[in-house]
Amino acid sequence: MQERKLSSIWSIVSMNGFLPLRRQPLFLINTLTSPFSFLFFLAIVGAVSNHDFIPYGVAGGMVLTVLSIGTSLQSDMTHYKADLKFQEMVVASPVRAGTYVTGMALSELVFSLPGMTVFTVLSLFYAHYVFLGGLVVVASLVLVWIFASALGFTLATYLADVRETFMISPIISIFLTVVPPVYYPITALPRWLWPVAYLAPTTWAADLVQGAMGIKPITLIEGVTDGLVLVFAAALLFVIAWKKAQWRET
């Protein structure tokens, strides 16, 4: 049984991850555009204001690259469900919903690996890593991946057309990557916006990654709080996906 699950996951990863990249390598460039556009903007702002925001941009690039998995997962699963009717075939097969989602989420991770590789190399120049800090960064990004994948899957099961993702994705992007201090310190925001920013799990993720990279000071209590909020957000979205996602047609 376990071998069958792993085989199914690998088939989905190959179908939606490695095969598209082999046929169209330009997909890799697309995954780098959003994170690096923010980084370019921060470089310009830093040059004008005489502040170095690049380290924050590198940390934010890591978070955004992993978070974009949710947006891509939402679009791909909606396409497979509405256009190709692939989800109906999966439902009729022995493959369970968890196996399908795991394979799709891992396939999206394949697209993000080149961007994560670039940002990891950049972090070696701009961050002040210690071994524990590196582990914290990896754990934080894994939790963001779980959160983003659960969110993307849940939304995809409710969308009837791929075009509807074009309406949802910008709203999610604003709430999770524009207002929250993912690419900049939260102190750059007006105080009255702080409660709004802290509603987004990405604020806590970015704060933990920035602290673990040595970009900003962070206390043990702040780090533990950031981690607990991330765990709670990932667990909450996982439960919502498990309970509320419309896997089968009603």
DSSP letter string, 123-157: HHHH----HHHHHHHHHHHHHHHHHHHHHHHHHHH
Q: Mean pLDDT across the stretch 152-165? A: 81
- The structure tokens 């970015």 sit at 206
Residues ≥6 apart with Cβ < 8 Å to 43: 53, 54, 57
pLDDT bucket at 248, cuts 50 / 70 / 90:
low
Helix (H) or strand (E) holding 37: helix 26-49
User: Are 17 and 107 within 8 A, CB to CB?
Assistant: yes
What value does the mean pLDDT take over residues 228-249? 83
Tell me the mean pLDDT in the region 4-23.
83
pLDDT tens readout for residues 88-102: 888 788 888 888 888
pLDDT by residue (tens digit) across 20-52? 777 777 766 766 676 777 777 777 877 777 777
pLDDT in tens, 93-151: 888 888 888 888 898 888 888 788 888 888 888 877 767 888 999 999 999 999 999 88
CA atoms within 13 A on the CB side of 242: 9
User: Which segments of the chain are extended strands (E)?
Assistant: none
